[in-house]
Amino acid sequence: MAKKQTIAVIFFLMIFVLLTVYIAVRTSFIYKTTTGYADNTTATMDCVGYMYEIDSINYSSNNLVFYLRNQIFSKYDLNKIEIWTEENQKEIVTNTGIGSSKKIEIDNFIITDNFSIAPAGCRIYSKTYAIT
């Protein structure tokens, strides 16, 4: 009789340990996924604060030149931008303060039809321009 009780106690302890491990792993997974979502949401919410314009686009001999104007009602300085096409991708340091403008020149940048620009890390809010 004591042998059956010992086996039953060990069996229930094993189930308890397995259930505890499962709950700990599941809780950890839920925590990591929800905090990752919160971090990504915060990053995209910060991206909304960038207000900028691109003017006077000129492209010839694989050289792209344009004026970047960080609007006066922008929330942040525009320190870096990403520029990409189907063939190329570059990150450019601009250091353009709020309400100021800067001429951007990119050498050896191949564009077939159009290119996109966004503040660094904010591709979801990119603007696309066509080369004519």
pLDDT of residue 46: 73
pLDDT of residue 44: 62
Domain 52-130 fold is Immunoglobulin-like (2.60.40)
Mean pLDDT over 55-83 rounds to 87
Residue pair 78/50 in contact (Cβ under 8 Å)? The answer is yes
Mean pLDDT over 72-79 rounds to 85
Mean pLDDT over 3-25 rounds to 89
The strand pairing partners of 59, in sequence order, are: 64
Mean pLDDT over 110-122 rounds to 86
- Reading the block at residue 62, the tokens are 């694989």
pLDDT of residue 20: 92
Q: What is the pTM of this model?
A: 0.60
pLDDT of residue 36: 55
CA distances from 61 to 32, 68, 82, 94 (A): 48, 21, 21, 22
Helix, strand or coil, per DSSP, at residue 62: coil
pLDDT of residue 38: 47
Tens digits of per-residue pLDDT, 26-65?
888 877 776 655 444 445 667 888 888 888 888 888 888 8
Helix, strand or coil, per DSSP, at residue 17: helix
Helix, strand or coil, per DSSP, at residue 98: coil
Domain ranges of the chain: 1-47, 52-130
Between 3 and 19, residue with greater pLDDT: 19
Helix, strand or coil, per DSSP, at residue 123: helix
The strand pairing partners of 80, in sequence order, are: 93
Q: Has residue 98 got a pLDDT over 60? A: yes
**DSSP alpha helix (H) spans, the chain:** 2-47
Q: Has residue 22 got a pLDDT over 80? A: yes
